[in-house]
Amino acid sequence: MSDLKNLSWSVQQTVQPPPFEQLERRGVRRRRRRQALAGAGVAAAMVVAVLVTLLPLGEKAGTEQVPPVATVPTAPAPGSIEPLVPPEQSGDSVVRAQDAEVRSMMFATPSRWAAAWASCATAPCQYAAVLSRDGAKVIAPARRAPYATLQVGDEAIAVAGPSGEGFSADDRTWADAVLVRLTSKGKVETPLQYAPPTSTFTAGEILLDRVAVGTTLLVLNVADATLRRLDVAGLDHPRSPVRDETGRWWVVAGDVVSGSRSEIAWTDDGRTWNRTLLDPANPGSRIAVSPDGSTVVASSWVDGATAEAIGTLKMSTDRGSTWTSVADRPWARGGGPVAFNDGTAVMLGVSKQGQTALYRLADGKATQLSPGHPGLEELAGDGKLLYGQVLRGSAVTKVATSVDRGLHWREIEPR
């Protein structure tokens, strides 16, 4: 027998199948739920049909048609074409889809957040977002490009970029690019426009790296509703942008290919960048900064490892003047890190035995703090609120939050 088949045979011997009835019950429950939903849909359609027949809507002379529950009127972009997503596919149906999952989450304050959702039951995937502001909640329209959730001041916003490759001006999917805000007056949808690349950016503009295919760092100008590429000479593949309250932006940079040298870079004015070595032999992964900018943690990752094995974990408690390599770091990164103003940080780490745990980073070393919340997949936030998506079975519909730096957690479903 071949070595691989031999391995497969050995694994088979260790597998203990659960009782078939257990799976059968799960399947039957799902079937019934589907049938019940289909039944409810038919009933609702019949009610609508009856109402349409009985109520002579719009037939009286002089009566005004009730406008649809409107979002802010969105003027078509110059030269734009019809949106590519069929109008009947609403953001609501994406968010409520049976297979919908939370792709990203951003709490600007504990009561103001944005959650990006995806539904991939049909190809291509459809994306939408939910925005919540002090109890009010709205849903961003369905799009074919994923939404990024970002913080602008004390507001959480959602942005969907063009879904085409290459981030070019003539990409027809710009017609779908949109910036969605929830202000005190309600939902505001603004079409996003292409702007030519620049090598600098100004205070108040937002850096992001997750909104378009095939690009690295982008600049979002919320006031003009434009999105553009940031090309900084000598700064290769900048990513994981994060800003502290002093206005300083931090990134990790360097090629993404295995074995690449990586750097930590930062700028105070959007024009000149400072940099320091992160890892001479591994690509950069993530960088996190505390709100006051004093504590910074950055990591590199080792290629080939199946989880995100950490190459090095560097930490500064003096705004980047001096750096320490963190000892006893976890084998792989599970989420975070999140840096605090007091010179410490937390991250989800994976031990060599494969266990995920919450680690505290302080005084140049990592120590296991707690097992973390079961199923926690990501970690973001600050000293007041930690949060991250939770994986249950094969679904991610919940987000766990903690107000005591990870000791206790509660789950919400952000939709």
Partner 1 sequence: MAQDESLRDLYDGCYRRLVAQLYAICGNLGEAEDAVQEAFVRAVEKPRRFAQVDNPEAWLRTVALNVVRRRFRRLTRYRGLLRTAAASTPADAVPGLSPDHVTLVAALRQLPLEQREAITLHHIVDLPVREVALQLGVPEGTVKARLARGRARLAPLVREFAEDVEEVDHV
Where does this chain bind partner 1 (CB under 8 A)?
A: 2-15, 17-18, 20, 23-24, 26-28, 30-31, 34, 101, 103, 120, 237, 239-240, 256-258, 285-286, 301, 303-308, 332-333, 335, 350, 353-356, 377-378, 389, 393-394, 396
Distance CA 112, CA 110 (A): 6
Q: CA distances (Å), 101 to each of 128, 141, 385, in order?
A: 10, 16, 22
- Looking at the DSSP bridge assignments, the partners of residue 178 are 160, 191
Residue 378: CB minimum distance to partner 1, A: 5
* Partner residues linked to 197 by β-bridges: none
Report strand pairing: 296-301 vs 345-350.
unpaired
Query: Which of 220/252 has CB closer to partner 1?
Result: 252
Interatomic CA distance for residues 186 and 150, integer angstroms? 18
Closer Cβ to partner 1, 212 or 222, answer by number: 212
* Residue the block writes with tokens 């995937």: 125
Check if the beta carbon of residue 234 is closer than 8 Å to that of residue 215: no
Q: Which is nearer to partner 1, 300 or 402 (CB)?
A: 300
Closest approach of Cβ 333 to partner 1, in Å? Answer: 7
Q: How is residue 262 written in tokens?
A: 């990586």
Q: How far is the CB of 101 from partner 1 (least distance, A)?
A: 7
Which residue's CB is nearer to partner 1, number 149 or number 356? Answer: 356
Q: Provide the minimum distance between the beta carbon of 102 and partner 1 in the complex, in angstroms, as a whole number.
A: 10
- Shortest distance, position 321 Cβ to partner 1, whole Å: 26
**H or E element at residue 103:** strand 101-109
Residue 132 or 356 with smaller CB distance to partner 1: 356
Closer CB to partner 1, 196 or 304, in the complex: 304
Tokens at residue 273, please?
A: 């960048």
For residue 227, the minimal CB distance to partner 1 (Å) is 19
Determine the length of the chain: 415
